[in-house]
Structure 1
Amino acid sequence: MIQLDNLTKVFDTPKGAVTAADNISMEVPAGEICILLGPSGCGKTTTLKMINRIIRPSSGRVFINGEDTTDLDTQTLRRNIGYVIQQIGLFPNMTIEENISVVPRLLGWDKTKYRERARELMDMIALDPDAFLKRYPSELSGGQQQRIGVARALAADPPVMLMDEPFGAIDPINRAVIQDEFLKMQEALQKTIMFVSHDIDEAIKMGDKVAVFREGKLVQYSTPDDLLAAPRNAFVESFLGEDRTLKRLNLVRVRDVVSDEIGTVSPGDTLETALARIDDFGYQNAIMVVNDKRQPLGLITRALARTTRGYCRDHVQKVPATVSLDDDLRKVASQMFAQDTTWLPCLDDQGRVCGQITQRAMTHYLGSRFRPSSSDARQSDAATEE
């Protein structure tokens, strides 16, 4: 949907020419979010603004859905691209409804249509249209204004959206809420989005792809998991931080790591049987008690099974924690630390025990999936030297 072909911007300054963006070439597939990431002054915002021609390129081309936009009228180009900025930019003398309807009105929509669109978008961003549409921006909180900015960018249903640190000025709690709501909207809308951020955690959370910039150059363009697992050179590795492996916990789901080999016992089994099955799975300190539908009833600990006689049904203890297939490994790690355990049972969508996840399996997955070969290491060293 978005293709940049050797896009370059050179600014003339009193001290001479400065290259802000240096031959940037990349493609963003339809329906994906691409995060432009990097330190201040690296060229990410300049690159974004060249797409809707707020900054005119010195050379190179921008294609939107296969169409070269070089000779396209600037107003027509911008009306077909949604644009959201950190400063929000709502018109203070217009109501919320009027702000949202700016582009549809310019495109000639009739009054009924753009009013209905405004109400639809208010529902989408979780703000009551009856309570907010007739208010002015000054009557809204910063987080609410930012939501209106997103709604305004979506008003004419553009296929492409550009977002320049849209959530950067919002406090961390509201930022997380708005990010989650935006991702839910994106699941339904499937817009093609380029999104400038300086926040690595935001980039990992929001992006289908991440483009890392340095001094006007595109250094690495890959999925968040590839980026964290295999940074291309020392700069990218340093920029991501020493905890980049921990950041990958957010990206990996239990279903990627879960083992379907899990010992269970039934209520009618003896504690002696339970102990034997615990020993079969040496890294477990307990075993699940399940009914005939494999739903968890509780667990039997190793300590109990060693010191007590009888049947499992009479000694079932509460299961301290379980995980689901769609949980991420960050949640799993948190539960393991909280419960002082190295394994957790996993339940499927019907609440049945379907496997287990272990600390050992998580460590192996994170450590081995992108363990570089010797040739990869040589290429990385060469890139670092460059």
Structure 2
Amino acid sequence: MIRLEELTKVFETPNGPVVAADKVTMEVPAGEICVLLGPSGCGKTTALKMVNRLVPPTSGKIFIDDKDTSKLNDVQLRRSIGYVIQQIGLFPNMTIEENICVVPRLLGWDSARAKKRAAELLDLVGLDAKLFLRRYPKELSGGQQQRVGVIRALAADPPVMLMDEPFGAIDPINREVIQDEFLKMQSEIKKTIMFVSHDIDEAVKMGDKIAIFRAGKIEQYDSPDKVLAHPANAFVADFVGADRTLKRLRLVTVEAVSDRAWPAISRHAKVRDALVAMREHNAHVAIVLDSDQRPTGYLTEEMAEGAGGVAQDVARPVPTTVPARADLRAVVSEMFANDVMWLTCVDDGGRFAGVVTQAAVTAVLGETYRKPGLVAL
């Protein structure tokens, strides 16, 4: 857990004092990611750097796991916090293994333990330890270097991580890949993380909570869904964008809105059985499955009316499928691309996992707006 209480930073300049952080108070629950977001110069990076005292606070308190960090010296504090920056900062004259082992060795780990940890972490981010441990940073791509920078911060297993625009310098394709790998890793290691970003889409994807800063103050601190659905004021609404409802599509998975009870029949089933199943479910489509439960086609009421034989003789191919783990952006995109109002969902093995409809997507987006006492701006 990270807790900031009335945290303030005033810089003295030739033109007088400048308040970079103004009585910032917030708490990041253990195991969650909080993204600090806001325009340039709003104080988000200053707030982050005060946590590991790269910027000394003017006043206020910082607690990590309920311990007042002012009672720790700078070295103790920083060795207990993982720190990742956009510039990566790998030591060019050290191998990848040596880079990862820097902090563990400073903490007195023996060589075998440190090397084992380095190999485990490389595997965790999809880099083969046998291939990468002996390489030097210049022999890695930018995306690979960034992964090493992230796991180096994790090497000594710190309870807290600070990340200052860690993926900002990576191209969009690799950024998505690394973000996904980091979230997968976070689901296992459950670190408490403060993460500075300038990208609202990244914040929505990565954060359990978002803190919107302006002029050194927090304008809103809430879940991504609440920030997008109910911005606290006009500034927050403008900052997150007029398309904030569409951004919320990223927050919901297909699995969360798919109807697993949707009528699905064997390709060898009779057409009239498909019609009965549709009517019982009040559905206009039945999905046709092969022997491995993979969707191969569909029947509509109109196609089934008066038709004889078995389903596979009448069915049309499904236009496309969407993974159950995908977010609703993928659903909406595929619906538009295929000019359909429904899509078949599949699990990781390609097996039928329900149907998602346009009505279901609309309903889930409207849920937050319908909660009592909440009015969208």
Q: When the two structures are superposed, what TM-score results if normalisation uses the length of structure 2? A: 0.89
Structure 2 counterpart SS, 1:341: coil
CA contact (8 A) 2:271 2:307 kept: no
Partner of 1:26: 26
Letter in 2 for 1:298: G
Mean alpha-carbon deviation: is it higher for 318-327 or for 108-117? 318-327
Q: Secondary structure at the match of 2:151?
A: helix
* 2:179 counterpart residue number: 179
- For 2:50, the equivalent position in structure 1 comes to 50
| Separation in 1, partners of 2:90, 2:347 | 46
CA drift at 1:361? 2.3
| CA distance 1:125–1:263, shift in 2 (3 Å) | closer
> d(CA) in 1 for partners of 2:276 and 2:214?
58
SS class of match (2:287) = strand
Where does the alignment leave 5 or more consecutive residues of structure 1 unmatched? 382-386
Confirm whether residue 366 of structure 1 aligns to residue 348 of structure 2. no
Instruction: Give the 3 Å change call, closer, same or farther, for CA 171–306 of structure 1 in structure 2.
Output: same
How many pairs align? 376
| CA displacement at 1:207 relative to structure 2 | 1.0
Give the distance between the partners of 1:133 and 1:351, measured in 2 at CA. 36
In the alignment, the residues of structure 1 paired with residue 325 and residue 148 of structure 2 have an alpha-carbon distance, to the nearest angstrom, of: 31
> Corresponding residue for 1:333?
332
Name the amino acid aligned to 2:364: Y
Partner of 2:356: 357
Structure 1 residues 27 and 269: CA distance shift in structure 2, 3 A: same
Of residues 141-150 and 19-28 in structure 1, the stretch that sits farther from structure 2 once superposed is 141-150
Note if contact 2:230-2:374 (Cα within 8 Å) is conserved in structure 1: no
Q: 1:296 to 1:143 in 2, by over 3 A?
A: closer
Alignment-derived partner of residue 221 in structure 1: 221
When normalised by structure 1's length, the TM-score is: 0.87
Q: CA deviation at 1:109?
A: 1.6
* Deviations 1:295-353 (CA, angstroms, capped at 9, x unpaired): 75632245544585555353232223344544321222222223221123445788775
For residues 353 and 99 of structure 2, what CA distance do their matches in structure 1 show? 51
- For 1:345 and 1:116, locate their aligned partners in 2 and report how far apart those are by CA, in whole Å: 44
Opposite residue 316 of structure 1, the aligned amino acid is A
Superposed CA RMSD: 2.8
Give the superposition deviation at 1:13. 1.0
Pick which of 332-341 and 228-237 moved more. Answer: 332-341
Which consecutive residues of structure 2, in runs of 5 or more, have no partner in the other structure? none
- Which moved further from structure 2: 111-120 or 17-26? 111-120
**1:92 counterpart SS class:** coil
Kindly indicate whether the alpha-carbon contact (under 8 Å) linking 2:84 and 2:150 is maintained by their aligned counterparts in 1: yes
Q: Does the alignment pair 1:154 with 2:167?
A: no
C-alpha distance in 2, partners of 1:128/1:294?
35
Which position in structure 2 is the counterpart of 1:123? 123
Q: State the alpha-carbon separation in 1 of the partners of residues 15 and 44 from structure 2.
A: 22
- Against the structure 1 CA distance between its residues 104 and 283, is the aligned structure 2 distance closer, same or farther, given a 3 Å change threshold? same
2:280 is aligned with 1:287: no
Residue aligning to 1:384: none
Deviation (angstroms), 1:243:
1.3
Give the corresponding residue for 2:270.
269
